[in-house]
Amino acid sequence: MARALDATFVAVSPRGPRRIASRDFFRTQLTTDLAADEILTEIRFPHCVPHTGAAFMEVSRRQGDFALVGVAAQVSLTEGLPGSVISDVRIAVTGAADTPHRATEAEELLAAQEFDAARCTEAAEALRSTLHPVDDLHAIAEYRRDVAGELMIRAVIEAHGRAVHTAAA
Give average pLDDT by consecutive 10-residue segment, the chain, 169 residues: 92 97 90 95 93 95 88 90 82 91 96 91 96 91 96 97 81
Same domain, 94 and 61: yes
Residue 76 near residue 97, CB atoms below 8 Å? no
Same domain, 75 and 18: no
- Rounded to an integer, what distance in angstroms lies between the CA atom of residue 122 and that of residue 113? 13
Same domain, 36 and 92: no
Indicate the number of domains in the chain. Answer: 2
Same domain, 133 and 58: yes
Same domain, 61 and 92: yes
| Contacts for 138 with CB less than 8 Å, ≥ 6 apart | 61, 68
pTM of the model: 0.88
* Nearest CA among 133, 131, 128, 123 for reference residue 146: 128
* Nearest CA among 24, 30, 5 for reference residue 88: 5
* Nearest CA among 57, 133, 47 for reference residue 91: 57
The domain in which residue 31 lies consists of: 8-44
